[in-house]
């Protein structure tokens, strides 16, 4: 009888109910299999109209972690632009005409190949490292410790990269290569937590969608806010100059 009442209540569109009607229906619903010892309903099993995670603390934590990852991703985009321009200057290609190819080299590398080579090296090392991290996560009790250490390392690395400049750009490029390794290690641990958020497949789908939405919103916010601030703050420099690109990259790392 309780299950039949549950199906009838939850199949209705709660968004069309008034607050009073919503409260009355929630009081009528009985979930003995999901209740705790005191007889109250487990909040994780009751969908909420207002909360994207229905009070699930684990889902909220993963969502905020994902939001922080969005800031890091977009910060790397601004930083990559500055690194390419600094590499071109170091190779003597800063005064090339539009459409002219840079044939100079810096540290034995063409500026246009800098990030491509960096991504290839990082991807190769990551392919070797991630199975090891995955084994540690699955078969030891150090999952939480790895997640905390990886997260702190990402934050520290992000702030150090704010020192990017004409004399430090190659050092920052190396850090830019180490960052994705830590990022992927954190991802392995984070993805291991997600299936444990809830046993309800419908709620899991809802939480996953909202978790990804948090990251997307943080990425959009980063692009808009950094772009606007870089145009408002006079010290950033004139748009299109090397100074502007470097200072915008610094801003994106500390914002």
pLDDT at 79: 94
Inform me whether the pLDDT recorded for 81 exceeds 80.
Answer: yes
pLDDT at 165: 92
Inform me whether the pLDDT recorded for 226 exceeds 90.
Answer: yes
Q: What is the pLDDT of residues 156-198, one digit of tens each?
A: 998 999 999 999 999 999 998 888 889 988 889 888 888 888 8
User: DSSP 3-state assignment of 52?
Assistant: coil
Is the distance from CB of 201 to CB of 51 less than 8 angstroms? Answer: no
pLDDT at 168: 93
Q: How far apart are CA 81 and CA 241, in angstroms?
A: 12
Cβ-based neighbours of 133, under 8 Å, separated by 6 or more: 146, 185, 188, 189
User: Mean pLDDT, the chain, as a whole number?
Assistant: 81
Q: What is the pLDDT of residues 12-54, one digit of tens each?
A: 444 444 454 445 544 443 444 444 444 444 444 455 556 788 8
DSSP code, position 139: H
pTM score: 0.73
Q: How confident is the model at residue 3 (pLDDT cuts 50, 70, 90)?
A: very low
3-class secondary structure per residue, 108-136: CECHHHHHHHHHHHHHHHHHHHHHHHHHH
Can you tell me the mean pLDDT for 41-69? 75
91 membership: H or E segment, kind and range: none
Q: How confident is the model at residue 97 (pLDDT cuts 50, 70, 90)?
A: low
């Amino acid at each position: 009888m309780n299950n039949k009442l549950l199906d009838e209540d939850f199949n209705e569109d709660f968004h069309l109910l008034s607050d009073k009607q919503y409260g009355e229906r929630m009081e009528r619903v009985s979930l003995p299999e999901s209740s705790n010892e005191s007889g109250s309903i487990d909040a994780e099993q009751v969908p909420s109209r207002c909360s994207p995670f229905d009070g699930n603390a684990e889902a909220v934590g993963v969502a905020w972690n994902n939001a922080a990852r969005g800031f890091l991703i977009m910060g790397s985009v601004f930083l990559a632009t500055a690194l390419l321009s600094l590499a071109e200057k170091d190779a003597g290609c800063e005064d090339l005409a539009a459409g002219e190819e840079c044939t100079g080299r810096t540290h034995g590398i063409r500026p246009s190949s800098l990030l491509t080579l960096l991504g290839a090296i990082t991807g190769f090392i990551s392919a070797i490292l991630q199975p090891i991290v995955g084994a540690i996560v699955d078969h030891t009790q150090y999952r939480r410790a790895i997640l905390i250490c990886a997260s702190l390392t990402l934050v520290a690395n992000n702030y150090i990269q704010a020192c990017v400049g004409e004399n430090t750009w190659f050092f920052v490029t190396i850090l830019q290569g180490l960052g994705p390794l830590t990022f992927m290690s954190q991802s392995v641990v984070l993805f291991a937590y997600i299936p444990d958020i809830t046993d309800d497949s419908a709620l899991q789908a809802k939480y996953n969608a909202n978790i990804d939405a948090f990251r997307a919103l943080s990425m959009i916010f980063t692009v808009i806010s950094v772009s606007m601030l870089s145009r408002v703050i006079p010290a950033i420099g004139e748009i299109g100059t090397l100074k502007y690109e470097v200072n915008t990259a610094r801003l994106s790392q500390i914002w």
